[in-house]
Amino acid sequence: MTLAQVESSRIDWEGALVERARAGDTRAFERLYREHAGRVYGLCLRMTREPHLAEDCTQETFINAWRALAQFETRSSLGTWLHRIAVNVTLGKRRKAGREEPLPEGEIEEEGFEPHWTLETPVEVREIEDAIGALPTGARDALVLHALYGYSHTEAAQMLGLAEGTCKAQLHRARKLLRERLNVEVG
Amino acid sequence: MTEQGRKGVIRSLGELPQGIEPEADLWPQIEAQIAGRAQAAPAETTPVSRAASGTRLRWLAAAAMVGCVAVGVWIGHSASLGGAAAPPLAGAGHPGAGALQTAWVADPRYQRQHAELMRSLGDQVAALPPASRAKVMASLTTIREAKHNLEEALGKDPGNALLQELLVNTYQDEMRVLTDVREASDAGKGI
Amino acid sequence: MQKTYRMLPAVIALLASAVVRGSDTTGNFEQEVAADAKGTVEISSTSGTIDVTGSDKAAVSVKAQLGPEVDHVEVKSSGNHTVVHVILKPHGSGVFNWGHDETHLRVQVPKDSELDVSGVSANVTSSGVLGGQRLRSVSGDVTADTGPNDIEVKSVSGNVKVRGHGQPARLRLNTVSGDIELKHAAGELETSTVSGQVSAELDPARAFHARSTSGDITFEGRLARGADVDAQSVNGDLKVHAASEDGFQYELQTLSGDISDCFDAKAERSGEYGPGHKLDGTRGGGSAHVRLKTMSGDLNLCDR
């Protein structure tokens, strides 16, 4: 069995549930929800910083996903697709509440430097989460998508509706602020 | 990245857990919202694409195909089994029929596939290791007996949804076994 | 002398190829190839045993005791894909002489490999492999340890025994006539057998879907929030003992069997005129779903 076939059989499993959900099987959709709810809520919570708002975003994400299932291509990652919807939902709610921030001035990281988001000394999880929560919204969004959820600069920028350079600027800002707050080098 | 607990220390942001379970179960509200659209979904969605690949009978594809005959629809005897005439349909006068619609359907695709698998069954079983031959035939006999018992019970209570569901599942199981035997015999012949 | 030295490489090559091709008198074979730490490893052999173990080495190493019908063992690695195939001598009659060839294959693979093993009448065992696994045997037994990745096991007449280590995974275990046993697992299980017994432990369980025609099905575990438990058998008994912090809704139906539970709920007749009993209800918050259906088997449900 080739790697492509292995990947294909893994996707098939979820793909089979998606197909059933598309045909109106809410039980199949519930299984998809159970599989992905944690990661969607985790993203919403870190972006909104408010559990009730994060719950609203999560619910709306899955409701929107149900409605848009016909457009989902089963070859791609359902998790990523759900995250895209979650980011749209969160940004939409933020716009409605008038909580958008101006974009930072273009400080860019040194050319070619790509942080791995490692910490010089270990830090308590609670402390890190609080530090991330205290970041300005734009910096936090970029950091959460890129450093926590592993999206590339291009993907994170697309999801946030930003130019890639702006996204990188936000990441640079996030790194600087985390360093100051945690008093630890962020490499 | 793993879904670790939210305690302890970490050395990189990538170690933070990606998944956080919400305090409350959000599914009931989601289900309430989408349930109203579930009935309209088949009309709105694109046709379900088949999972089967090529001409190779994958056991999941065979089960899915039989599943398309649908719960609540009466499945007819396979012609290749030389089955007896079907029990009478659920009559309007039968008190147990309830609201279920029952109809006599012999899905032609299922009939064709089943007949093809049954025709080559003898050769396929012969190609299996000796340890498997008797067990496979015993399992197929078990399935046939189960089908017979279910059909007999349905003859007395045609509207019984439990029996209909178990019968559909048993037909699916038979197709799965026949497909597994075919794949297994191909594995044996390929040496 | 010079002639001897010139012949030496040829002699060495001949000896090496003899070992590789398993044609030496002892029937022993040994070979190792470098392999991707997270690549795929595909192994096939006809009869005997196939034992696979995961290791920290970025290599696939094969040791085998070859049966007399073996022509050669193919071991090659290309990119991130490695194959180990036991190739038999061609048979003029096209019919394999079962029972006269037993090859005992031991393969060490990188522990994060994706594994694909197929045997015909070979017993397959796998341990220490953390990547996804697909293990198949026609008449052999399959025994596996599973990590946090998907595992699919299929046997026609052999028994299937899988042991988890509490890490959530998606498991698909199927036989036609063998028994299925799953211990210390977590996540989702889809399983079916015609006449074998199914015994599964999942903690926590996100989904448990089981089917048999005449075999009994037993499930013990803890249900995750919103878990889905669905077990059906025509003649087999179904037993589910599942704790759940968020409770579950249950729906039990049997035509001629008995229904029992540990919370004193009483089954009722399914219909006014026809045979059959059912038991529907909710325990606790009713978040998960439990459905047990059988024609003539007995049903037993407990929430602890």
Residue C67's pLDDT is what? Answer: 87
- CA-CA-CA-CA torsion sign (C134, C137, C138, C143): negative
Residue pair C139/C156 in contact by the 8 Å Cβ criterion: yes
What is the pLDDT, as a whole number, of residue B185? 79
pLDDT in tens, B161-184: 888 999 988 988 888 888 888 888
Asked if the C-beta of C206 comes within 8 angstroms of chain A's C-beta atoms, the answer is yes
Pick the CATH number of A3-96 from 1.10.1740.10, 1.10.760.10, 3.40.50.970, 3.40.50.360: 1.10.1740.10
CB-CB: which of B11, B34, B48 is closest to A23?
Answer: B48
Domain map (residue ranges) of chain B: 75-189
Q: B20: closest CA among A44, A53, C227, C187?
A: A44
Tell me which of B86 and A162 has the higher pLDDT. A162
The per-residue pLDDT for A91 is: 93
**What are the backbone angles phi and psi of residue B104, rounded to the nearest 5°?**
-90, 110
Q: Measuring CA to CA, which residue among C212, B41, C36, C135 is closest to residue A27?
A: B41
Instruction: Give tens-digit pLDDT for A59-99.
Output: 999 999 999 998 898 777 899 999 999 999 999 998 887 76
Q: Which residues of A touch B44 (CB under 8 A)?
A: 70
- What is the C-alpha to C-alpha distance for residues B27 and B36, in angstroms, rounded to an integer? 15
AA letter at B26: L
pLDDT at C132 over 70: yes
Asked whether this chain's domains A3-96 and A125-182 adopt the same fold, the reply is no
**C143 band by pLDDT with thresholds 50, 70 and 90:** very high
Asked if pLDDT for residue B64 goes beyond 90, the answer is: no
Record: contact A1-C40, CB cut-off 8 A: yes
Counting Cβ atoms within 10 Å, is residue A106 exposed (0-12), middle (13-18) or buried (19+)? exposed
Chains that touch C (3 or more CB pairs under 8 A): A, B
Indicate the pTM of the whole model.
0.68
Mean pLDDT per block of 10 residues along chain A (187 residues) reads: 48 77 88 92 95 95 94 85 95 81 57 72 89 93 94 93 90 91 84
pLDDT exceeding 90 applies to what percent of chain C?
70
Tell whether the model's pLDDT for residue C172 goes beyond 70. yes
Cβ <8 Å between A35 and C207:
no
Task: List pLDDT tens digits, range C205-238.
Answer: 999 999 999 999 999 999 999 999 999 999 999 9
**Are A34 and C116 an interchain contact pair (Cβ–Cβ within 8 Å)?**
no
Confidence (pLDDT) at A145: 95
Chain A CB within 8 Å of residue C190 CB: no
- In sign, the C-alpha dihedral spanning B105, B109, B112, B114 is negative
Are the beta carbons of C206 and A1 separated by less than 8 Å? no
pLDDT classification of B38: cutoffs 50, 70, 90 = low
Distance between CA atoms of residues A65 and A75, nearest Å: 16
With a cut of 70, say whether residue B97 has pLDDT above it.
no
Residue B91 Rama label (left phi>0; alpha psi -120 to 50; beta): beta
Alpha-carbon Rg of chain A, whole angstroms? 18
Q: Give residue limits of the domains in chain A.
A: 3-96, 125-182
> What pLDDT shows up at residue C222?
95
Q: Is B9 on the interface with A (CB under 8 A)?
A: yes
Contact across the interface for A34 and C224, Cβ inside 8 Å: yes
CATH number of A125-182: 1.10.10.10
How does pLDDT run across C251-261, given as a tens digit for each residue? Answer: 999 999 999 99
A2-16, C157-171, C240-254, C272-286: segment of lowest average pLDDT:
A2-16
Query: Pairing state of beta strands C59-65 and B74-75?
Result: unpaired
Q: Is B87 exposed, middle or buried (0-12, 13-18, 19+ CB in 10 A)?
A: middle
User: Would you state the pLDDT for residue B95?
Assistant: 36
What is the per-residue pLDDT for C25? 52
First and final C-alpha spacing in chain C? 83
Binned at pLDDT 50, 70 and 90, residue B111 comes out as: confident
pLDDT (tens digit per residue) in C30-87: 999 999 999 999 999 988 999 999 999 999 999 999 988 888 899 999 989 999 999 8
pLDDT at A20: 87
Would you call the peptide bond into A104 cis, given omega within 30 degrees of 0 as the criterion?
no
> The tokens of C247 are what?
């409770």
- What's chain B's average pLDDT? 67
Which of chain B's residues have a Cβ under 8 Å away from the Cβ of A26? 31, 34-35, 38
| Residue C244, number of CB atoms within 10 A of its CB | 25
Tell me the mean pLDDT in the region B52-63: 42
User: What is the structure's pLDDT at A131?
Assistant: 92
Residue B81: is its pLDDT beyond 60?
A: no
Mean pLDDT value across chain A:
85
Is C265 an interface residue toward B (CB < 8 Å)?
Answer: no
3-state secondary structure of C162: strand
State the SS3 of chain B: CCCCCCCCEEEEHHHCCCCCCCCCCCHHHHHHHHHHHHCCHHHHCCCCCCCCCCCCCCHHHHHHHHHCCCCCCEECCCHHHCCCCCCCCCCCCCHHHCCCCCCEECCHHHHHHHHHHHHCHHHHHHCCCHHHHHHHHHHHHHHHHHHHHHHHHHHHCCCCHHHHHHHHHHHHHHHHHHHHHHHHHHHHHCC
What are the angstrom distances between the C-alpha of B142 and each of A28, B34, C298? 30, 41, 18
pLDDT of residue B121: 86
pLDDT of B82 over the 70 cut: no
